[in-house]
Structure 1
């Protein structure tokens, strides 16, 4: 495994370097702008080279079974520096954030929407155990950790949450780049949109807050602070919401809905 891990490390560094060279790209479509982050390019590059047509020679060693298993197991550890960055953005605006703290807490109930709306839709599409991983949340670090600990990432539930994680990274950031300018056009305040940006995904939060900053550069520090605080609370309080509310609700709905189908 040691030899193939070195190939994985070198390949990862090359992908990071290429993605950073491409950098932050913004595509204007009429009055809207789509922000493409380096993270998006990194995901696309690694997905393209994972196709069997490219997976030969050194790349075959990069995408070895042991490397894939290692990456899935320790993915959550890589996210820890990102959490530290959120704290650095929150600290300068802590007083203003505390003054409206209850709003941040109320938004956590929105985490139940993935179960209430997503689970029935997933079952209608033909998913079964995969739906448990795919609809517990938006498939970010918290759900990834919970599903991997409870079911492992090699299970049907694990494949569900991993699939959602990749799809969310690819399309979630694009969607969150487009949505804030649209909602601003319909009269939503920039502060409310900044708070709603923290849904538990670093890439989605960054995409949304970047779009808001582009529209209101004079409020950059406030937007980043609100978005980061919301992201931190979603990662922290959202974990308890997931474990004590979303997971039991999901199990009840899954048993009820699958029992009806069996009849």
Structure 2
């Protein structure tokens, strides 16, 4: 067991080293420049080696269920230093942040978009109770905890939120590291995008804000402060937004849309 842990640690260090050696890459696509972070390459490398084609011998040991379970269980301990970093980033810009504090509060309403936009699409493609877990939010720790407590992770709702959690872990950082600079080139202000970076996921926030810093290095402190403040508020206020706004709205929409869908089926049967 100790040998497996050492092999696992060496593999992680090699992936990190490879990603850092690749470094930050800028890919011009027309008038838009995509920024790919080392984090993106680390995710892609681990995804490729995790494919059944390569998962043999020592890689089969590295990607064992025990290692995967260990990584997911203790991920929170790795995130704690990052949370401390958020506080350190917020402090130097606290007066500026408080001056636009209401904007941070209003942006929390944006978390309802997963229900308003995602739930109809989820039901349309055939999801049923799984849609409740998959569209309550971005499927991060807050939603995972709520669904787990209310329905258990073995339920259909639990399967939905777990699926989204895994997808977000695999593709979230990649998606937002690309989306942030794209929106920047479309005319959005860097301050607004920095605020939007704090979406409740440490990896997604880091990817999005680092992409912005790469484009505006002179505004690094402002970008990181806004993103960190938004992240802290999302972690705190997002819970209340989810419980008192997203959950009732989702329940109402799910009942209405489910009845409409059943009515359409009956109409077709005639």
Q: For the superposition of Structure 1 and Structure 2, which TM-score range results when normalised by the shorter chain? A: 0.7 to 0.9
CA–CA separation in structure 2 for the residues paired with 1:17 and 1:133: 36
For the residue of structure 2 that corresponds to 1:79, the secondary structure is helix
Q: Which runs of 5 or more structure 1 residues have no equivalent in the other structure? A: none
| Cα displacement string for residues 91-132 of structure 1 (whole angstroms, at most 9, x for unaligned residues) | 100111112211111110111111111111112122234323
* Structure exhibiting the larger radius of gyration computed from Cα positions: 2
Q: Within the alignment, does 1:72 sit opposite 2:76 as a pair? A: no
Structure 1 residue 243 displacement after superposition: 2.9
Please name the residue that 1:23 is paired with: 23
CA–CA separation in structure 2 for the residues paired with 1:14 and 1:140: 27
Instruction: Decide whether the 8 Å contact of 2:112 with 2:246 is kept in 1.
Output: yes
Structure 1 residue 260 displacement after superposition: 3.9
Instruction: Decide whether the 8 Å contact of 2:25 with 2:36 is kept in 1.
Output: yes
Structure 1 residue 60 displacement after superposition: 1.0
- TM-score (ref. length: structure 2): 0.83
Please name the residue that 2:253 is paired with: 253
Instruction: Decide whether the 8 Å contact of 1:119 with 1:132 is kept in 2.
Output: yes
CA–CA separation in structure 2 for the residues paired with 1:11 and 1:159: 26
For the residue of structure 1 that corresponds to 2:55, the secondary structure is coil
Instruction: Decide whether the 8 Å contact of 2:180 with 2:193 is kept in 1.
Output: no
1:99-110 aligned within 5 A = 99-110=99-110
Q: Within the alignment, does 1:163 sit opposite 2:163 as a pair? A: no
CA–CA separation in structure 1 for the residues paired with 2:63 and 2:247: 32
| Cα displacement string for residues 187-211 of structure 1 (whole angstroms, at most 9, x for unaligned residues) | xx33333222322233443344344
For the residue of structure 2 that corresponds to 1:183, the secondary structure is coil
CA–CA separation in structure 2 for the residues paired with 1:123 and 1:260: 11
CA–CA separation in structure 2 for the residues paired with 1:211 and 1:135: 26
Instruction: Decide whether the 8 Å contact of 1:19 with 1:39 is kept in 2.
Output: yes
Aligned residue pair count: 259
Please name the residue that 1:119 is paired with: 119
Q: For the structure 1 residues 54 and 3, does the alpha-carbon distance in structure 2 shift closer, same or farther, using more than 3 Å as the test?
A: same
Q: Within the alignment, does 1:152 sit opposite 2:156 as a pair? A: no
Please name the residue that 1:190 is paired with: 190
Deviates more, 1:83-92 or 1:248-257: 248-257
- TM-score (ref. length: structure 1): 0.85
